[in-house]
Amino acid sequence: MFERLITLIGKDKFSKLEGANVLIVGIGGVGGYALEALVRSGIKNIAIIDGDSIELSNLNRQIISSTNNIGLSKVEEAKKRALCINPDINIKLYNENLVAENIDLILGDQFNYIVDACDTINTKILLIEKSLKYKYKLISCMGTANKTNPALFSITELSKTNNDSIARILRKRVKELKINKKIMVVSSTETTNPSNKLGTNSYIPGIAGLLCASYVINDIK
């Protein structure tokens, strides 16, 4: 099933993709597309963590959602979809949210990469700190709400982001923690009108998730 990918990248790199171990934190709009791309790229060892269930409002942007699985566990439904693509993957589920009390236990599984697709600032800070402690490579997705222009998303350093409210908060927190390491993120430079209401379209979370996956795939040498 991976003949065309092997033609593109070669057998040696494909073998390295198969052997990588990736954790995806959050399996909603961003994380679902990241999972999709990683599975379709031959990565066999994946862990996903999310304590939420699929809601009706998820249908406009979350690839794992359908009218048939409203109310069901996100990680369980994501696993079903992933195994339908590649039955040979090893996928580990954590049907819970990542918090300070469980993060060290979960990160003890010797990951090569962490995809931060969650939307909680404290969890993002925890992942930055712990990825440095465990020496795991991290790609962290910044804000996707109220964005409409996919061309303005890119993989960049946290310190180089602008027009991103989540990134702004993280830059401040990272500075307070005196973290001087390079932190890679997916972020948009699009300006948005200030609003208390957060809207999201069908394609922006997917773009962000695919960029997160591309960072992992292209970084593996």
Express each pLDDT in 97-124 by its tens digit: 999 999 999 999 899 999 999 999 999 9
Q: State residue 85's pLDDT score.
A: 97
Express each pLDDT in 117-144 by its tens digit: 999 999 999 999 999 999 999 999 999 9
Q: State residue 217's pLDDT score.
A: 98
DSSP letters for 3-25: HHHHHHH-HHHHHHHHH-EEEEE
Q: State residue 184's pLDDT score.
A: 98
Overall average pLDDT of the 47-71 stretch: 97
Q: State residue 169's pLDDT score.
A: 96
The yes-or-no verdict on residue 42 having pLDDT over 80 is yes
Overall average pLDDT of the 67-85 stretch: 98
Q: State residue 22's pLDDT score.
A: 98
pLDDT category, 192, cuts 50, 70, 90?
confident
Determine contact, residues 82/90, Cβ cutoff 8 Å.
no
Q: CATH number for the 3-219 domain, one of 3.30.450.40, 3.40.50.720, 3.30.450.20, 3.30.565.10?
A: 3.40.50.720
Overall average pLDDT of the 171-197 stretch: 92
Q: State residue 194's pLDDT score.
A: 72
Long-range pairs, 170-178, Cβ under 8 A, ≥24: 170/121, 170/124, 170/125, 170/128, 170/140, 170/142, 173/121, 173/125, 174/125, 174/128, 177/125, 177/129
The yes-or-no verdict on residue 195 having pLDDT over 90 is no
Q: State residue 188's pLDDT score.
A: 97
